[in-house]
Amino acid sequence: MLDVSLDADPEWDSSDWTELARRAAASAIAESAFPQLGLGERCVELGVRLTGDAEVRALNARWRGKDQATNVLSFPLAETRELDDSANDGPELLLGDVVLARGICAAEAAEKTISLEDHASHLMVHGTLHLLGYDHHDDDAAADMEAREVRALARLGISDPYARQG
């Protein structure tokens, strides 16, 4: 059972961000190497923070040493061995937190001529995959993560965001 805890600053509009975040996270989990996390009775918890660029910049500076805002940050809590354990009766699994920056997210959505909700969904899928151990530090890992993102977004009815860049 997936439980998404969402905290949104007032600058985020009145969309149903909690449901959007839950669907994005569930899609990412389904396309990961750990789909059992979304299928069983075990409680899997994920935190989502929708905030402004300044807060994301401060978090990025503090935790990553990069004094700039970015569109999404992920703070994983679960270790790989915990993700591998598919026991339905295990203790609650805390995946971690995903944080989105409103200004950057909105600017990117406008540049791509897509809705804020679709772009935020993409970033939530991306962030959730990071919580599940995926990364894009080399070409093979980036290709794998991108393919998982595209499949997860297709589950949500969102077209391939990378096809727009070509």
Average pLDDT, the chain: 93
Asked whether the predicted pLDDT for residue 14 surpasses 90, the reply is no
The Cα–Cα gap between 95 and 92 comes to 10
Asked whether the predicted pLDDT for residue 109 surpasses 80, the reply is yes
Tens digit of each residue's pLDDT (9 = 90 or more) over 31-83 = 999 998 888 788 999 999 999 999 999 999 999 999 999 999 999 999 988 88
Q: pLDDT exceeding 70 applies to what percent of the chain?
A: 96
So where are the chain's domains?
2-161
Q: Average pLDDT for residues 128-151, to the nearest whole number?
A: 96
Nearest to 53 by CA among 16, 9, 97, 17: 9
Which residue type sits at 4?
Answer: V
Nearest to 94 by CA among 76, 81, 110: 76
Strand order in the sheet with 72-76: 2-8, 44-51, 93-101, 72-76
**The domain made up of 2-161 is a member of CATH 3.40.390.30:** yes
Q: What values do phi and psi take at 44, rounded to 5? A: -115, 120
